[in-house]
Structure 1
Amino acid sequence: MRRHTVLVRRSLTLCAALALAASCGRGGSGDDGGRLPAAPTGMTAAAGSATSVHVMWNAVAAAPRVRVYEVYRGTTRITEVTGSRHMVDITRLAPSTSYVFTVRARDTAGRLGPAGQVVRARTPAAVAADASAPTRPGGTRGRVLGSREVELSWSASTDDRAVVSYDIHQGSSKIHSVGAARTSTVITGLRPGTAYAFTVRARDAADNVSAPGGTVRLTTPGSDDGHTTAPTAFRAASHRAGGAYYLDLSWVPPGADGVIAEYQIRLDGQAATSLVYGGNAQRAKASYSFYAGRAAGVTHRLRIRARLPDGTWGGWSAERTVTTGTHSGSRP
């Protein structure tokens, strides 16, 4: 009888452990026992025109890291963006229509986290034959709030129909958008010790965009040695084709709040070439090859840096050396 009791207790303990494991595994597709990504916070949605809505959220810190954010309209997934981004313009919408959006984070292990708060936006009515852009925003000004954020403000623009939204640019990059009811905003995700130049443009329902308002120049306090913004796992090798030698580079793009589409390559201490991916930026791992001449046994020094989504250049990668006629270059 005693032996039977011990076996029963062991069986119950095993069943409880299995039940707990099954419960912990619910909702995830991985088997490494990690936690699901958190729900995105700070969700906002604002109409950008009669057919578009700008959706934003705060980046989610997760381990493993977030691979993509999935954006839903109602219960339908309509798009996804890389984990380095936390904003998206939803286009091809209907005028005079209310929409509901949510965002969920999916990590590199494939686990999908819960949805963030529901946000709502209504597109304005369509405007036929409108070719007039709004007036440029006036009185643009700004102030530094900290080493990674600033506040911008401006005077409202006017339009022959109505202003729908304001686009904020840093250099040539659009980095933010707010609805027409707002004439100020806080820009986050900046770098310490960095000079910035911001402009604001007004947009109407027909997607006519104004000329930029005055440039606001601000410098965030602190210092940034570039280490966290430099490409990592940088490698250099050489191959021969058609009687010539080529240098083969590979790297992991730096983490940033946006897509990195431009790089600068430094060869033997001099700027060698700029690499622009446009809309086809490589995100998890990037690579590039370029002509190095016909002579074998020539040693080159190489570094690479990225233009970050905030419009500034990040730090340089570690330097690598490679000799033409060999198959591999220096490694860390």
Structure 2
Amino acid sequence: MRRPLATSLLTLSTLTLTACSGAAEPAEDTRAPSVPTAVTATAGSASSVHVMWSAATDDRAVTGYTVYRHGHKVKELPAGTLMTDITGLTPATPHTFTVRARDAAGNVSADSAAVTATTLAATAQDRTPPTRPTALRVTPAGRDGATLTWRPARDDTRVTAYDVYQADARVHTVPGTATTARLTGLRPGTAYSFTVRARDAAENSSPDSDPADLTTAPAPGARPNTAPTDVTVRATKGAITLTWTPPRTGAPVKEYELHLNGRFATTIVWGAQPPPGPVGYTLTVPADPGVRHTLTLRARLPDGTWGDFSAPRTAVTV
């Protein structure tokens, strides 16, 4: 009676081992990411250089980038970051940079092409910022790009760089001799707002230019953008007043959701019929002067869902 049981257990054990031994193990990742391309370096002051590059690719995923100066590591950055400022540099000196991509397995790409930028000469203490750039315009450039143009700013010494901002975050830098910038990697069906600041060798930045808005084309098959448009903001002591034009939804919009600095702030509801044209709302904020706030809002659509966010606007408390 015991022998058949032993045989059955032995057979079951053999089958289990056979099944386990046949399981496929994940292949080891030994392939390095591609080399970062389109690397540029722009001197922004006597002690800083702005380095940018295009994204690398990988058979799994790129997890980060490392920037080198003269072959020595100076910055490690996450995969979503494609630019950085290298600071603390010697004035009036050439500095050479390369970039490498890395993946989760520790594979590292070869060095990118080397680029060199010469920091500006140190100047006497300069506390005067440039004037603001004017006549900013933005036009689509393909499905995921935009081209910005502006009139140059003025400075008591000279403008050394222009910084492009989106939602109060710098996304691009060009030399002070440029009056145009090309942006890529924009999402489809999204409302963007861009501003430009001029910068001099002493790192003084101008006030923001007036904003320029762009809504990218929707993805194939996606619904048209439903963001409020013509958004303006005006800061007074302890308050920010917004005005905007409601989206065209085929019915009056009675409810909006307002976000402040990327977080939900309040819901705006009209109890009666809202006005057909531009509408407004005043938001109470702390009265501390000089604080920057970024605001966006979206409408509740007739089907009960929330629409797209408006292009962001920045207000500085007074």
TM-score relative to the length of structure 1: 0.58
Q: Distance in 2 between matches of 1:196 and 1:129?
A: 36
Q: What is the deviation of 1:311? A: 7.0
Structure 1: segments with no counterpart, 5+ residues? 1-30, 227-261, 266-306, 313-332
Query: Partner residue of 1:218?
Result: 214
Indicate whether 1:195 and 2:163 are aligned: no
Q: Distance in 2 between matches of 1:84 and 1:138?
A: 30
Indicate whether 1:129 and 2:125 are aligned: yes
Count how many residue pairs are aligned between Structure 1 and Structure 2. Answer: 205
**1:151 and 1:184 in contact (8 A); partners too:** yes
Q: Distance in 1 between matches of 2:123 and 2:73?
A: 29
Q: Distance in 2 between matches of 1:167 and 1:109?
A: 35
**2:193 and 2:312 in contact (8 A); partners too:** no
Q: Distance in 1 between matches of 2:179 and 2:162?
A: 8
Matches within 5 A, 1:76-87: 76-87=72-83
Q: Distance in 1 between matches of 2:101 and 2:76?
A: 10
Query: Partner residue of 2:36?
Result: 40
Q: Distance in 1 between matches of 2:132 and 2:46?
A: 20
For residue 133 of structure 2, what is the amino acid of its counterpart? P
Q: What is the deviation of 1:188? A: 0.9
For residue 111 of structure 2, what is the amino acid of its counterpart? A
For residue 63 of structure 1, what is the amino acid of its counterpart? D
Indicate whether 1:206 and 2:234 are aligned: no
Q: Secondary structure at the match of 2:28?
A: coil
Query: Partner residue of 2:286?
Result: none
Cα-to-partner distance string for 1:241-296 (whole Å, 9 max, x where unaligned): xxxxxxxxxxxxxxxxxxxxx8759xxxxxxxxxxxxxxxxxxxxxxxxxxxxxxx
Query: Partner residue of 1:62?
Result: 58
For residue 79 of structure 2, what is the amino acid of its counterpart? G
Q: What is the deviation of 1:65? A: 1.1
Matches within 5 A, 1:167-178: 167-178=163-174
Q: What is the deviation of 1:64? A: 2.2
For residue 32 of structure 1, what is the amino acid of its counterpart? E
Structure 2: segments with no counterpart, 5+ residues? 1-26, 224-260, 265-308, 314-318
Q: What is the deviation of 1:145? A: 1.1
For residue 136 of structure 2, what is the amino acid of its counterpart? T
**1:48 and 1:205 in contact (8 A); partners too:** yes
RMSD between superposed Cα atoms in Å: 2.5
Q: What is the deviation of 1:212? A: 1.2
**1:146 and 1:220 in contact (8 A); partners too:** no
Cα-to-partner distance string for 1:105-140 (whole Å, 9 max, x where unaligned): 111100111011111101111122211001111221
Q: What is the deviation of 1:217? A: 0.9
Q: Distance in 2 between matches of 1:34 and 1:63?
A: 10
TM-score relative to the length of structure 2: 0.60
Matches within 5 A, 1:3-14: none
CA distance 1:160–1:77, change in 2 (3 Å):
same
Query: Partner residue of 2:247?
Result: none
Q: Secondary structure at the match of 2:204?
A: coil
CA distance 1:125–1:63, change in 2 (3 Å):
same
Indicate whether 1:94 and 2:90 are aligned: yes
Moved beyond 4 Å, runs of 4+: 262-265
**2:29 and 2:105 in contact (8 A); partners too:** no
